[in-house]
Structure 1
């Protein structure tokens, strides 16, 4: 299986397991900058050089050798499951992607037809009942994750613990897992623990939110999207994410963690 979704700086100063919708664009750009003294011109997900990625054949032996021997500092970043799934809905389902098309071609028409979801019209900019459509999207998300119907779960809404676990199961060890909600503190710890060719001043780093502007703006507070049934579905899908990464399941309005991440617990439970 190897180490899917894993990026490594060319200097091998650090190794990062990408978790979609968890500041991955900003982290990738920081890694790129730490090696080259400049940001990648474009979306870092499109970079085919300047950063080792598991998706690049020539990077795989280097990443594998590094991770298996735990040569470099390894980390990842997680996010509140409530805000993450909402972000996925507005970006991937309602939004027009950077290629000018809908995400995954036939996916949105399928959701409109089978689940009665609205997405704000052709351009995603018309008004629609966001809460009703989002709750229907949650049903679809649960169906993909539980039964792999009507398709396999997508990386943007499959559980964070699922992404994080592949790194552990295949022989990797994390030195740090931090929260997007306290991004600067977490990333500062990573940079403090690593030696990079170029110094990174986190205060001057822009946020590379590549999904911003793709879809309609969220019209309501986070908690308005989640009634009792929605919370039940979220718990069914993401119970491990809440437990391991210490987020508050009972209060969707509280995006901040309520405890410290225990790396030993994460390795033990996700390494099974």
Structure 2
């Protein structure tokens, strides 16, 4: 199976396992800058050179050798499951993507038809009941993850623990898991642990939120989107994420972690 979703600097200073909707655009640009002294011109997900990616055939051998031998510092980044799934809804379901089209072609019409979801009209700019639509989307996300119907789960709303685990199961070891909510602190720990061709000053790094502006603005506080039923659905989908990455299931409005991540626990529980 190899190491899907794994990126590595060309200098092999650091290895990163991408988790969608968890600051991956910013992390990728920091990695690119640390090697080349400049940012990639465009969305880092489109870069075909300047950064090793598992999706590029020529990168698979160097990534495999490095990861199996733990040749470089390896890390990943996670996010509160409540805010992550909410962000996925506004970006991927309500938003127009950077190619000018809806995400995954017929996905949104399917959701409108089968789940009664409203996405704010053809361009996503009309007023709509965000809370009701989001809760219906949660039913759909649960159906894809639990029963793989009406489609396989999408990487943007499948559990973070699933993404994180493939790296471990196939022979990788994490040195650090950082939280999106305290990004600068975590990313500084990573940078302090590695040697890079170009020095990175986090205070100078812009945030590369490539999904910004794709969809409508969130109209309510995070906690308002989650009633008892939707919290139950979120727990069903993301129970391991809350437990392993130490987020607060009981309070959707608290995005901050409530404990320290235990790397030994993560490797033990996700390495089966």
**Shorter chain as normaliser: what TM range?**
over 0.9
Distance 1:161 1:136 in 2: 23
Give unmatched runs, 5+ long, in structure 2: none
Cα distance per residue 1:138-185 (max 9 Å; x no partner): 000000000000000000000000000000000000000010000000
Partner of 2:89: 89
Cα distance per residue 1:233-270 (max 9 Å; x no partner): 00000000000000000000000000000000000000
Distance 1:109 1:143 in 2: 17
By how many angstroms is 1:197 displaced? 0.1
Cα distance per residue 1:22-66 (max 9 Å; x no partner): 000000000000000000000000000000000000000000000
By how many angstroms is 1:87 displaced? 0.1
Distance 2:201 2:108 in 1: 40
Alignment of 1:35-114 (within 5 A): 35-114=35-114
Partner of 2:201: 201
Alignment of 1:255-270 (within 5 A): 255-270=255-270
How many residue pairs align between the two structures? Answer: 272
- Root mean square deviation of aligned Cα: 0.2
TM-score under structure 2 length normalisation: 1.00
Partner of 1:182: 182
Distance 1:218 1:172 in 2: 37
Partner of 2:228: 228
Give unmatched runs, 5+ long, in structure 1: none
Aligned to 2:178, the other structure's residue is in SS state strand
Aligned to 1:77, the other structure's residue is in SS state strand
Cα distance per residue 1:63-122 (max 9 Å; x no partner): 000000000000000000000000000000000000000000000000000000000001
TM-score under structure 1 length normalisation: 1.00
Where in structure 1 do 4 or more consecutive aligned residues deviate above 2 Å?
Answer: none
